[in-house]
Amino acid sequence: DGGITQSPKYLFRKEGQNVTLSCEQNLNHDAMYWYRQDPGQGLRLIYYSQIVNDFQKGDIAEGYSVSREKKESFPLTVTSAQKNPTAFYLCASSRMQGNTGELFFGEGSRLTVL
Amino acid sequence: QKEVEQNSGPLSVPEGAIASLNCTYSDRGSQSFFWYRQYSGKSPELIMSIYSNGDKEDGRFTAQLNKASQYVSLLIRDSQPSDSATYLCAVTSSAGGGADGLTFGKGTHLIIQP
């Protein structure tokens, strides 16, 4: 079945550590996205990529980094510069050709900073 | 700054009644509009999309769009306890047309009372 796989589902981190969240899709979608969700809040865009080896900052990119070396993969690194990293992180993808904007989501990764 | 506004709720509706969820958006050039359902601790799932003014029906769900008023709504008929969830309204930007991701509201928490 086609879909988006995020790992790990749960992650605990000590302050000052970088962590990398994995996102893999087999939908053959060109565009991929990372969103952050805090309790009682909507989704806020961190980074997105429309094509391999290219990506753009979203609304809250500070303290995060990404790479897009393969079409299928879009990992997110939460760096120690991110002041409040505890959140639910969602990866999504969409088609570019004939794109209506519809996003397909992975199951999410919940990061807790101890 | 693109904004999508929703009443956070909770909105409590008796089982079998009609639930009405509303959303306004600030980007007048937005072209695509989506309603996602999110259960607690889970990722969002698309339930309705709408692209032109008027109503769009799918089973018990009806989406309504009024671009002149910058208003989107979702009606859920014959509400069931399984409809209890947070409903997120999302829109594309006029600049990116969807390729730069969706802007989400904070969501309306819907409770269906048996």
Q: How many interface pairs between A and B have CB atoms less than 8 angstroms apart? A: 67
CB contact under 8 A, A101 and B4: no
Closest CA to B91 of B72, B109, B78: B72
Contact A69, A75 (CB under 8 A): no
B43, B101, B106 ranked by CB distance to A42: nearest? B106
The DSSP-derived string for chain B is ---EE-----EEEETTS-EEEEEEES-TT---EEEEEE-TTS--EEEEEE-SSEEEEETTEEEEEETTTTEEEEEESS--GGG-EEEEEEEE-TTTTTTT-EEE---EEEEEE-
CB contact under 8 A, A42 and B104: yes
CB contact under 8 A, B43 and A105: yes
Q: Which tops the pLDDT comparison, B99 or A102?
A: A102
Q: Which residues of B fall within a CB distance of 8 Å from A40?
A: 8, 106
Residue type, A113: V
Per-residue pLDDT tens for A32-74? 999 999 988 889 999 999 999 999 999 999 999 999 999 999 9
Among chain B residues, CA nearest to A34? B101
Percent of chain A with pLDDT over 70: 96
A42, A48, A104 ranked by CB distance to B101: nearest? A48
Q: Tell me the Ramachandran region of residue B41: left when phi exceeds 0, alpha when psi lies from -120 to 50, beta otherwise.
A: left
Q: Residue A84: which H helix or E strand, with range?
A: none
Looking at chain B, how many residues does it have? 114
In whole angstroms, what is the distance from residue B14 CA to residue A41 CA? 25
CB contact under 8 A, A103 and B42: no
Tens of each residue's pLDDT in chain B, 114 residues: 679 999 989 999 999 999 999 999 999 989 999 999 999 999 999 999 999 999 999 999 999 999 999 999 999 999 999 999 999 999 998 777 778 899 999 999 999 999
What pLDDT sits at residue B4? Answer: 96
Give the strand order in the sheet containing B61-66: B4-5, B19-25, B71-76, B61-66, B54-58
In whole angstroms, what is the distance from residue A104 CA to residue A31 CA? 11
CB contact under 8 A, B99 and A105: no
Token digits of residue A33: 């996205």
A101, A106, A108 ranked by CB distance to B92: nearest? A101
